Amino acid sequence: MSDEPHEAVVVPHTELATDVLRGVVESIVLREGTEYGEKEFSLEEKVTQLMRQLETGAAQIIFDPTSETVDVVAIGATPRR
C-alpha cells in the first residue's frame, strides 16, 4: 500500500440507508460540541438542522480515506484534517 494521501470522497446523503444517515449525522452532532448561540437545542433539533442542510445542498458528507473518518462540511468549506 502507498503512504500517499488520498482525496476525500463526497458521499451523497441520498445513497445512505436512512438509519445509517441518521447515525452519521448524530455522531457528528455529538462530537461537535459546537456553540449554537444563546438558545440551547436538543439533539433532535440539531440533527434536524444538519439533515436540512444536507437535503438543501448547503452541506455534504465527506469520507477521508486517509484517516478513515466521516465529516459533514458546508459547501465551499475546506474539510478538516
Residue 59 lies in a domain: yes
Domain count, the chain: 1
Higher per-residue pLDDT: 19 or 41: 19
Q: Give residue 33's domain range.
A: 9-74
Residue 36 lies in a domain: yes
Q: What is the mean pLDDT of residues 39-57?
A: 91
Q: Distance between CA atoms of 1 and 16, rounded to whole angstroms?
A: 28
Q: For a pLDDT cut of 70, what percent of the chain falls above it?
A: 79
Which of 2, 1, 5, 3 is closest to 64 using CA atoms?
A: 5
Residue 32 lies in a domain: yes
Record the pTM.
Answer: 0.76
Residue 36 has pLDDT above 60, yes or no: no
Q: pLDDT-derived band of residue 6, with 50, 70 and 90 as boundaries?
A: confident
Q: pLDDT-derived band of residue 9, with 50, 70 and 90 as boundaries?
A: very high
